[in-house]
Amino acid sequence: MGKPIVFIPSRIPNAEAVIRYLSDDADVDYRDVEELLGEEEFYQGLERADGLMAYSRNKIRATQLERAPKLKAVCNIAVGYDNLDLDALTARGIAATNTPDVLSETTADLAFGLLMSTARRIPEADHYVKSGQWHGWLPSLMLGKDVFGATLGIVGLGRIGQAIARRAAGFQMKVLYNNRTRISNEEQQGLTYVSLDELLQRSDYVLLQAPLTSETSGMIGARELSLMKKDAILINTARGGVVDERALIEALQEKRIAGAGLDVFEQEPLPQGHPFLSMPQVVAVPHIGSATVQTRSAMAMKAAANMAAVLRGERPENLLNPEVWRR
């Protein structure tokens, strides 16, 4: 009887080390490609697989699972898992895992970088220089907003949110937060818990880091945006679906808020002609929160460790559906 098969349908950093790590427990079907596999090619790999290592772009629903008779584990190379139908996986006894912790600091770097870039209009200024428009110093050229000493409101204070708050402390920002649960040592961390409405009303920068769930879907809509200051900036490094994108576009077009820094969108990639693409007050980047060589390599290795544990009959460290282990 051969070894179990682990299917990795996309390129991963440090692939040789990951494959070597898994080799004692599995044969690895690795596809060294950047783009998504075609549907049939993906299904052909899935049908043979005992384990799947997936990115967030790989949607695993009941339909896909019907073509995966041997599957024992789906190990996301991501902390978010809205691409997985956990109910369908659990019903079939398939373990699901993610990769928390390893990407928190890197994603916080990106979030704070987006805040700085939007506040100080850095991409806009870069384009201004490189397109030959800069002809000399002007008193009102590229005036932005101060970050030092400003008020930052963080919606969703998990690991990444707390890492962002630590960066804000270095800028002596006043940090408000809203979360499902209060943080026990909030005073020591310089954090103030407030309602979502109060956070929106008081913050110079509103930073979204809440997971996408049925409760958070569309949580920032027209009403919430209307509560923000006219010179406030919205930063979203969570998931595109937590914001009503049409309402955000209207708020920006009507100058009811000053700008937005966005790493995530309702539809990815953004379609041609999308309003964000022509808005200078919007800094848009292509879902790169964890995109460093070191972090993506660590994420892939953590996913591999979760996979190896399942194949050995051991409970994986980052199990999302513990019900499958209690059976």
Examine the pLDDT at 73 and tell me if it is beyond 80: yes
Number of domain units in the chain: 2
Per residue in 137-152, pLDDT tens?
A: 999 999 999 999 999 9
What percentage of residues in the chain have a pLDDT greater than 90? 97
Distance CA(327)–CA(318), nearest Å, equals 18
Measured CA to CA in angstroms, residue 1 lies from 4, 7, 18, 261 at distances of 9, 18, 23, 53
pLDDT in tens, 241-270: 999 999 999 999 999 999 999 999 999 999
Given pLDDT bands bounded at 50, 70 and 90, which one contains residue 13? Answer: very high
Q: For position 322, what pLDDT does the model report? A: 97
| 135 tagged catalytic | no
Q: Which of these is catalytic: 41, 47, 66, 268?
A: 268
Write the pLDDT tens digit of every residue in 84-114.
999 999 999 999 999 998 999 999 999 999 9
Considering the domain architecture, whether residues 152 and 264 belong to the same structural domain is answered as yes
Whether the pLDDT of residue 173 is over 70: the answer is yes
Q: Averaged over 213-222, what is the pLDDT? A: 96
The helix (H) or strand (E) run that includes residue 150 is none
Q: Which of 224, 239, 245, 296 is labelled catalytic?
A: 239
Residue 28, pLDDT above cutoff 90: yes
Q: What is the pLDDT of residue 161?
A: 97
Q: Quick one: which of 53, 56, 90, 80 has its CA closest to 211?
A: 80
Please report the pLDDT score of residue 2 as a whole number: 86
Q: Say if residue 280's pLDDT is above 90.
A: yes
The confidence score (pLDDT) of residue 327 equals 60
Six token digits for residue 90:
């659990």
Cα–Cα distance measured from residue 96 to residue 119, given in angstroms and rounded to the nearest whole number: 39
- Domain of residue 269 covers 103-284
Residues 149 and 252 grouped into a single domain: yes
Q: How far is 222 from 218, CA to CA, in rounded Å?
A: 10
On whether both 52 and 69 belong to a single domain, the answer is: yes
CATH of the domain at 218: 3.40.50.720
Contact 78, 99 (CB under 8 A): yes
Does residue 56 share a domain with residue 116?
no
pLDDT at position 163 over 90: yes
CA distances from 221 to 197, 227, 228, 242, 249 (A): 12, 10, 11, 9, 11
Is there a single domain that holds both residue 135 and residue 262?
yes
How far apart are the C-alpha atoms of 264 and 20, rounded to whole Å?
A: 33
From CA 48, how far away is CA 7, in angstroms rounded? 8
- Mean pLDDT across 22-44: 96
In terms of domains, do 41 and 161 share one?
Answer: no
CA distance 237 to 83: 16
Per-residue confidence (pLDDT) for residue 22, from 0 to 100: 98
Per-residue model confidence (pLDDT) at position 253 = 98
287 classed as catalytic:
yes
Q: What is the pLDDT of residue 326?
A: 77
* 8 A C-beta contact, residue 22 and residue 3: no
- The answer on 223 and 185 residing in a single domain is yes
Inter-residue contact 241 to 262 (CB < 8 Å): no
239 catalytic? Reply is yes
* Residues 152, 171 contacting (CB under 8 angstroms): no
Average pLDDT over the chain reads 97
Query: Same structural domain for residues 111 and 138?
Result: yes
Are both 94 and 111 inside the same structural domain? no
The answer to whether residues 118 and 84 belong to one domain is no
**Shared domain check, 110 and 246:** yes
From the list 97, 128, 165, 131, the residue with the least C-alpha distance to 311 is: 97
Check 121, 167, 202, 287 and give the catalytic one.
Answer: 287
Looking at the fold, whether 264 and 278 belong to one and the same domain comes out as yes
